[in-house]
Amino acid sequence: MICKDVVGLLSAYIDGELSMEERAQVSFHLSACPNCQTQLAAIKNTIAMLQGLGELEVPPDVSSALRQIAIDRPVKIKLAKQRSLASYLRYLIPIAAVAAIALVSIWPQVNPSLTSKQNEVKSGGSRKPAAKSALPKYKALTQEEDIKEQAYDQTKEKADYPGRLKAGGAATESYGANATSGYNLEDKNSDAGTLRGYAPMPATELWPRVEATKNNYDSAAASRLLSKTKNETDGLYNIKYAKENRYGFVESLADQAYAKTGQSKLKDEIGKLLNQVKGLSLPVYLEKAKFNGNDCWLLIVRWGTGNDESGLNNASLYATDLSMRKIFYQTSN
Amino acid sequence: MASIKPDPDWLIIKSFLAGNKNSFNELVNRHERSIYNLVYRMVGNSTDAADLTQEIFIHLYRKISSFRGESTFSTWLYRLAVNYSKDWLQKESRRVQTIEINETLLPDNGIGPSQLCEQREIQTLVQLAILELPEDQRLMVILHDLQGYDYKDIAGIVGVPVGTVKSRLARARLKLADKLAPYRNDMEKLTSK
């Protein structure tokens, strides 16, 4: 056996995958060949380097998304690029701290309408959440399954918005409770950047909103809060709006939370929580309170299914610990 | 006739197929880590690994009834993950240019900051070297050296003869040994500390 033959067998030699005869031949050759001994040591060392990579933990948002598959419809949840965000925050935390202090000092003077407009401007910029695709990708589905999926979506859309959708999916009629209070849902001539079929939020509207209270919620009280918030925000937003404005809403909530409670760095945590629980969602309400005697944040998000024009018809409430990393209660309406 | 092996996942699958949806999460508990790691090492970044892992488990949720127990469930699931990874690499014609090493995900070996820094550099180099391998060879290294599957299992997962596994793995290791040769001394120093 020559060196060239032996080198090709060294890998299997290390793994004990050679026949007795091959193994004996390789061993014999190695005993007299320094070059092949060196090569053997190099492969062994390489294997050690490979094994030194260790095993990665599954990111928490991925893990949570996987557990949603059996609970919700099996759709892919849009996840943030955690690495980029982490790096981003690492360098911007000092700047953010200064900005937050400045915000506290001027917060009472901030006009809610200005906040609303700022959100719209930001949404049109480059600071959208980083992710590849907002739409769930189905792989290897049969045509029949695809048809069933589409039928499900259409059925759900019709159930969610009876009489409100035409074939193209655009909103054609008055929508939700606010349709009777001055919202023009047929405004096809609205300015670029505003929603087709949705008017911008009125200047007096205060969503998203943060409260710091001494309320001690239980599940029933949390459900009532969810219902109340849902009623107040019904008809305000659609999926397109959520896609474009979520970053601004998260930022606004974090800023308000800092101003009212002094707790910083919530922007990242709210973002992670949303990625974890709902892809197409908009956080509208955050309250620092207690839940069954424990300090908590109560976060209410509006979310929906369907195309861009579909409304955020659903609402969910999440009670988390103060780090917002542990959800200890959730309910949907 | 293929016999059903004593597969720890089998009872969970039967429970799921009988209507207990919570059983699916038991499968997630058991396999999410290995699937995520496989995919991550194949594609080299956590964003695409996260997407692919979700797609794989969604596919599993929809198609689990097609599992007949002719191989172990983990082999079947791995085959699915391998196909998804290959599809991602081939259909999208994506070539991994950069990789990320997320320090929060690295194992803590109880070493000091400077050594940790060296270790991370070496891990980055190793991951880059893996990504430079042809896909078929990359898969062998990941399945065998990182995930501990033996040749026969890998043959079952990838659908090639054991001899092919042996030769692909040998070529992959030789290439890696060549690529990583400049850093071997650093690695030896690090592991000897």
Do B135 and B65 lie in one domain? The reply is: no
Residue among B64, B90, B118, B92 nearest A52 (CA): B118
In a structure prediction context, what are the per-residue pLDDT tens digits for chain A, which is 333 residues long?
789 899 999 999 999 999 999 999 999 999 999 999 999 999 999 999 898 888 889 998 888 889 888 876 555 666 655 444 433 433 344 444 445 555 554 444 444 444 433 333 333 333 333 333 333 333 333 344 444 444 444 444 333 333 222 223 333 222 222 332 322 333 333 332 233 333 334 333 578 999 999 999 988 899 899 999 998 888 888 888 888 888 888 888 988 888 888 888 888 888 888 876 666 788 999 999 999 888 999 999 998 777 777 888 888 898 888 988 888 788 887
Q: How confident is the model at residue B1 (pLDDT cuts 50, 70, 90)?
A: very low
| pLDDT at res. A225 | 93
Do B82 and B107 lie in one domain? The reply is: no
Do B43 and B117 lie in one domain? The reply is: no
| pLDDT at res. A95 | 46
Q: Do A49 and B126 touch (CB under 8 A)?
A: yes
Q: Is A141 helix (H, G, I), strand (E, B) or coil?
A: coil
Q: Is B75 helix (H, G, I), strand (E, B) or coil?
A: helix
Distance CA A284, CA B152 (A): 54
- Chain B contact set for A69 (CB, 8 A): 24, 28, 54, 57-58, 61
Do B85 and B137 lie in one domain? The reply is: no
Contact A287, A248 (CB under 8 A): no
| pLDDT at res. A13 | 95
User: What interhelical angle do B184-192 and A34-51 show, nearest 10?
Assistant: 60
- Chain A contact set for B184 (CB, 8 A): 42, 45-46, 49
Do B123 and B75 lie in one domain? The reply is: no
Residue where one domain finishes, among candidates B61, B91, B121: B91
First CA to last CA distance, chain B: 54
Our CA-based measurement puts residue B1 at a distance from the nearest CA of chain A, in whole angstroms, of 28
Q: Is A202 helix (H, G, I), strand (E, B) or coil?
A: coil
Which run of H or E residues covers position A183? Answer: none
Tally of structural domains, chain B: 2
Q: Do the domain assignments include residue B1? A: no
* Helix residue ranges, H only, chain A: 3-15, 20-32, 34-51, 60-68, 82-106, 112-124, 143-160, 219-233, 239-261, 266-277
- Note which residues in 197-256 of chain A have CB less than 8 A from chain B: none
Do B140 and B186 lie in one domain? The reply is: yes
Task: Please give the biggest Cα pair distance in chain B.
Answer: 58
Q: Do the domain assignments include residue B170? A: yes
Q: How large is the ipTM?
A: 0.83
Distance CA A132, CA A78 (A): 8
| pLDDT at res. A263 | 85
Residue among A12, A53, A87 nearest B131 (CA): A53
Q: What is the CATH number of the domain that holds B17?
A: 1.10.1740.10
Q: Do the domain assignments include residue B98? A: no
Do B72 and B129 lie in one domain? The reply is: no
DSSP B79-136: HHHHHHHHHHHHHT----------GGGS---S--HHHHHHHHHHHHHHHHHHHHS-HH
Do B75 and B117 lie in one domain? The reply is: no
Question: A294 has which bridge partners?
Answer: A291
Q: Do A15 and B47 touch (CB under 8 A)?
A: no
pLDDT tens for each residue of A67-95: 888 876 555 666 655 444 433 433 344 44
Do B70 and B33 lie in one domain? The reply is: yes
Residue where one domain finishes, among candidates B58, B91, B124: B91
Q: Is B182 on the interface with A (CB under 8 A)?
A: no
Q: What is the CATH number of the domain that holds B139?
A: 1.10.10.10
Q: Do B146 and A77 touch (CB under 8 A)?
A: no
Do B145 and B178 lie in one domain? The reply is: yes
CB proximity list for A117: less than 8 A, separation 6 or greater: none
Question: A225 has which bridge partners?
Answer: none
Residue B126 belongs to what domain range?
Answer: 103-192
| pLDDT at res. A324 | 87
Do B85 and B149 lie in one domain? The reply is: no
Q: Is B28 on the interface with A (CB under 8 A)?
A: yes
Residue A215: both structure tokens together: 């309320």
Residue A319: both structure tokens together: 């009670």
Q: Do the domain assignments include residue B2? A: no
Mode of pairing for the β-strands spanning A209-217 and A281-291: parallel
pLDDT tens for each residue of A226-246: 999 998 888 888 888 888 888
Distance CA B22, CA A5 (A): 53
Rounded mean pLDDT of chain A? 68
Nearest CB to B50; choose among A11, A49, A62? A62
Q: What number of other Cβ atoms are within 10 A of residue B107's Cβ?
A: 13
Do B135 and B188 lie in one domain? The reply is: yes
Nearest CB to B173; choose among A47, A81, A131? A47
Q: Is A71 on the interface with B (CB under 8 A)?
A: yes
Q: Do the domain assignments include residue B5? A: no
